Amino acid sequence: MKNINLEERNKELKYKTPEEIIDWALSLSNRRIVTTSFGVYSAVLLNTFYRTDKEIDVIWCDTGFNMPETYQHANHLIKRFNLNINMYVPEKSTEFIKSRLGIPTIGDPKFEEFTEIVKLEPFKRALKEHQPEVWFTNIRVRQTEYRNSLDILSLSKEGILKVSPFYYWSDKELDDYLSENGLQKNETYFDPTKALINRECGIHLQ
């Protein structure tokens, strides 16, 4: 994957549809995953894969601290799309983590440890087990300062090709997609490892 000219390929893909981007990326390797948090617009990417690759491994790192509505949303999409879901959870129970660390906020000395335990360690475990060469995500420009520096294609620190088919789509375009396809938005999604909407949880910094 390191041999791909990202700058050149990103210029070509910018004017392709998400389906065309996905089809191109699927041809690169059989070792591929798609990650989801079952967040606000999660139904968009998962619906697209329902049409293109129903068997792809869907990775969900469940922190154990999601809102009830997120678990309902997840269950709905898992059933609707018959997702090949691979769930990764912290090695310690939610109650144990809460008793030891609480739910720390940004600035709390325990925040980094909390993030490592509930989100990053499970994700590292997922990568170790699946050894993907291609990683599909739903990150978009304008979400965070870091994501503004990326593109449709980027490389992780380990050299995994990250593919974001909807990178240049606006909220309005995603809302229209949901409406046209009879899909729901997870309005109440909240990630305690991000805390702020314009902050990274850490997965995409790996």
DSSP sequence for the chain = -TTS-HHHHHHHHTTS-HHHHHHHHHTT-S-EEEE----TTHHHHHHHHHHH-TTSEEEEE--S---HHHHHHHHHHHHHTT-EEEEE--SS-HHHHHHHH-SPPTT-TTHHHHHIIIIIHHHHHHHHHH--SEEE----TTS-HHHHT--SEEE-TT--EEE-TTTT--HHHHHHHHHHTT----TT---TTT-STTS--SGGG-
The pLDDT tens digits for 109-128 are: 898 899 999 999 999 999 99
- The pLDDT, as a whole number, for residue 198 is 47
Mind listing the domains of the chain with CATH numbers?
6-205 (3.40.50.620)
The pLDDT tens digits for 39-49 are: 999 999 999 99
- The pLDDT, as a whole number, for residue 95 is 95
pTM for this structure? 0.89
- Tell me how crowded residue 22 is: count the other CB atoms within 10 A of its CB: 24
